[in-house]
Amino acid sequence: MFASDKYGEIRELWEGGGFGGDKSRGDLALCCHLSFWTGRDAGRIERLFAQSRRVRAKWQRDDYRTGTIQKAIAGTRDIYTRPGAPRSGPRRRRPRAGRAPWRVQAGNRAGSLHSVHFHGPQTRAPGGCAIA
């Protein structure tokens, strides 16, 4: 995850920053990244998030924590598949080295990895996860 093209963005979120100080949007953005990298595994997302510097009193509330994780999972269209992993189900695309996989032109939908889009107040993180 930290070796990806989005290292800077992920590291900033991991360290507690990002989204101009809006902590809840930052929490969701990190959960979206984690959802992509963990294959939408809620338990792994929660364990990894707990290791970050984003943990605060609000995160300790079950309703907030599970709601944020579930929102990230529900909004994640694509997941990371390690090279050489056996395929099951529909093909998942993974980031390619040297290229930002989330740069998407308008109208490009099928099979693309989506990340930050600035269309008004809503943004998107990896896998297309909406951050309102």
Any domain includes 113: yes
Structure tokens given for 4: 């990806």
**Residue scoring higher pLDDT (30 or 131):** 30
Which are the contacts of 108, defined by CB distance < 8 A and separation ≥ 6? none
Closest Cα to residue 32, out of 83, 60, 69, 66? 69
Any domain includes 94: no
Is the full-model pTM beyond 0.85? no
Any domain includes 84: no
**Residue scoring higher pLDDT (127 or 14):** 14
Any domain includes 59: yes
pLDDT confidence of residue 81: 82
Domain that holds residue 109: 7-79+100-131
Any domain includes 85: no
Any domain includes 63: yes
* Helix extents (H) in the chain: 7-14, 23-38, 42-51, 62-75
Res. 43: pLDDT tops 60 = yes
Confidence of residue 13 (pLDDT cuts 50, 70, 90): very high
Q: What is the DSSP letter of 58?
A: G
How many domains is the chain partitioned into structurally?
Answer: 1
Any domain includes 2: no
Res. 38: pLDDT tops 70 = yes
Any domain includes 92: no
Sign of CA dihedral 96, 120, 40, 42: positive
pLDDT confidence of residue 48: 96
